[in-house]
């Protein structure tokens, strides 16, 4: 195996256009909003919450297609879903199956939507993927969606998933080195007007590759989720949107104290590479007409906590950096939360609006929302919170 051709990588990073270079691209149009608004689809069993309180939330494609169409009707900018290869067994009622594949499920939504951005989460190091496959699939989806499709690039932090595909777990920073090479070559495949050949330092190579059709706006949208130094450096080089967590914990006070420095660091990484990124946070919204009703709803979720699922999740071997500041064993906030999300926002429509406004002032450029009972909670959010967000200047 060869070493990385750093001259090739450096030149490729500097030369390839982003969708934001095209004012008419769907991404550029979405970024005209003061704050991005997305929906984190529950395409996997249990949604985002480890609780047995009855709800409609379901992993099926029909349910998630209906949610996506409702989100588009409400003016949401994007959707994406979680990717996991979790085995069955010993995970509790809310974690018994992996659910839908995020790549296929999200891409399939292109046929039933017209405006909303569709981001497929893909573990680019599993398989391993060959960049020609993903470049061809991505260019095809780019045309089908008219420039609305993109990739949430993840490298995999769970040891059992690497082992599932016949690997030993790859060291954290090494994963980002490999992903950097993969994505750089992927972008070159989307932009090159002539055949070219490449030999990877890992396990793939190609000769006289050429991808047609080429994407409509330079390349598909690129997103990554990270909290580590290596991941932030990767985001600064490649991503349009960076999916972040609160470094200090899932309660609003901890999030507001830690996010300004964290979001500034993420954005500075992009500036150092001559570009901009937008940060995206995943709050789980528990909203009712009054604070008392919202607190009662949150407590009911906690009272029905699925302890087996929580224990199974906390026992998974992971080297993710993003969650290191989160509490364990706290059913309301943190890694072991029954409520879910990387920040938990609980309150009346006015309180939720104020919390989102504060998070935006802390450097968060968008919110990828999740709910406990997705369909009715999304309806309530659209009716009662969205108008307040417009009044507050967060949406137009």
Q: What is the pLDDT of residues 364-379, one digit of tens each?
A: 999 999 999 999 999 9
Report the pLDDT value the prediction gives residue 300, as an integer from 0 to 100. 96
Report the pLDDT value the prediction gives residue 82, as an integer from 0 to 100. 86
Class of domain 6-391 (CATH, top level): alpha beta
Cα–Cα distances in Å, from 99 out to 104, 139, 216, 232? Answer: 12, 26, 31, 29
Report the pLDDT value the prediction gives residue 240, as an integer from 0 to 100. 98
Round to whole Å and give the CA distance between 144 and 137: 11
Helix residue ranges per DSSP H, 272-306: 291-303
Round to whole Å and give the CA distance between 261 and 84: 30
Do 337 and 246 contact (CB within 8 A), yes or no? Answer: no
Dihedral angle computed from the Cα positions of residues 57, 61, 63 and 64, in that order, rounded to the nearest 10 degrees: 80
Round to whole Å and give the CA distance between 371 and 47: 8
pLDDT in tens, 199-230: 987 779 999 999 999 999 999 999 999 989 99
pLDDT in tens, 137-179: 999 999 999 999 999 999 876 777 778 888 778 888 999 999 9
Report the pLDDT value the prediction gives residue 191, as an integer from 0 to 100. 96
Nearest CA to 76 out of 372, 371, 373 is that of 371
Mean pLDDT is lowest, of 26-35, 153-162, 177-186, 262-271, for 153-162
Round to whole Å and give the CA distance between 118 and 115: 9
Round to whole Å and give the CA distance between 100 and 85: 10
Report the pLDDT value the prediction gives residue 164, as an integer from 0 to 100. 83
Q: Are strands 78-81 and 283-287 parallel, antiparallel or unpaired?
A: unpaired
Mean pLDDT is lowest, of 73-87, 155-169, 336-350, for 155-169
Hey, CA dihedral for 240, 321, 138, 185, is it positive or negative?
positive
On average, the pLDDT of the chain sits at 89
Q: Is the pLDDT of residue 317 over 60?
A: no
- Residue spans per domain, the chain: 6-391
Report the pLDDT value the prediction gives residue 76, as an integer from 0 to 100. 98
> What pTM does this model have?
0.91
Quickly state the pLDDT bin for 267 (edges 50, 70, 90): very high
Round to whole Å and give the CA distance between 99 and 84: 8
Do 60 and 44 contact (CB within 8 A), yes or no? Answer: no
Q: Are strands 36-41 and 149-154 parallel, antiparallel or unpaired?
A: unpaired
Round to whole Å and give the CA distance between 82 and 278: 19
Report the pLDDT value the prediction gives residue 27, as an integer from 0 to 100. 98
Report the pLDDT value the prediction gives residue 323, as an integer from 0 to 100. 45
Q: Is 277 helix (H, G, I), strand (E, B) or coil?
A: coil
Q: What percent of the chain has pLDDT over 90?
A: 72
């Amino acid at each position: 195996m060869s070493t990385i051709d750093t001259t090739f990588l450096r030149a490729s990073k500097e030369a390839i256009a982003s969708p934001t270079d095209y004012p008419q691209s769907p991404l550029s149009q979405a970024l005209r909003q003061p704050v991005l608004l997305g929906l984190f689809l529950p395409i996997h069993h249990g949604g985002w919450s480890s609780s047995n309180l009855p709800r409609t939330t379901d992993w099926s494609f029909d349910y998630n297609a209906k949610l996506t169409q409702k989100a588009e009707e409400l003016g949401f900018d994007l959707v994406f879903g979680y990717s996991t290869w979790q085995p069955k067994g010993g995970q509790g009622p809310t974690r018994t199956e992996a659910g839908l594949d995020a790549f296929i499920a999200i891409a399939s939504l292109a046929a039933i939507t017209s405006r909303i951005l569709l981001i497929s989460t893909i573990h680019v190091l599993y398989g391993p993927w060959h960049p020609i496959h993903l470049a061809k699939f991505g260019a095809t989806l780019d045309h089908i969606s008219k420039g609305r499709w993109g990739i949430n690039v993840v490298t995999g932090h769970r040891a059992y998933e690497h082992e599932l595909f016949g690997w030993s777990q790859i060291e954290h920073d090494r994963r980002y080195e490999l992903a950097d090479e993969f994505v750089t070559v992927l972008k070159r495949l989307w932009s090159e007007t002539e055949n070219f050949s490449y030999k990877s330092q890992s396990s793939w190579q190609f000769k006289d590759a050429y991808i047609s059709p080429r994407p409509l706006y330079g390349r598909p949208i690129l997103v990554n989720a990270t909290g580590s130094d290596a991941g932030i450096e990767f985001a600064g080089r490649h991503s349009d949107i960076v999916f972040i967590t609160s470094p200090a914990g899932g309660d609003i006070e901890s999030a507001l104290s830690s996010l300004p420095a964290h979001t500034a660091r993420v954005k500075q990484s992009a500036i150092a590479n001559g570009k901009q990124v937008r940060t995206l946070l995943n709050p789980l919204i528990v909203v009712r007409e009054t604070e008392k009703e919202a607190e009662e709803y949150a407590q009911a979720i906690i009272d029905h906590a699925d302890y087996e699922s929580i224990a199974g999740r906390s026992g998974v071997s992971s080297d993710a950096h993003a969650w290191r500041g989160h509490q364990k064993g706290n059913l309301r906030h943190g890694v072991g939360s029954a409520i879910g999300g990387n920040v938990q926002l609980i309150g009346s429509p006015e309180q939720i609006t104020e919390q989102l406004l504060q998070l935006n002032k802390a450097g968060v450029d968008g919110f990828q929302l999740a709910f406990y009972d997705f369909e009715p909670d999304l309806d309530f959010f659209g009716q009662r919170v969205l108008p307040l967000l417009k009044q507050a200047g967060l949406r137009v």
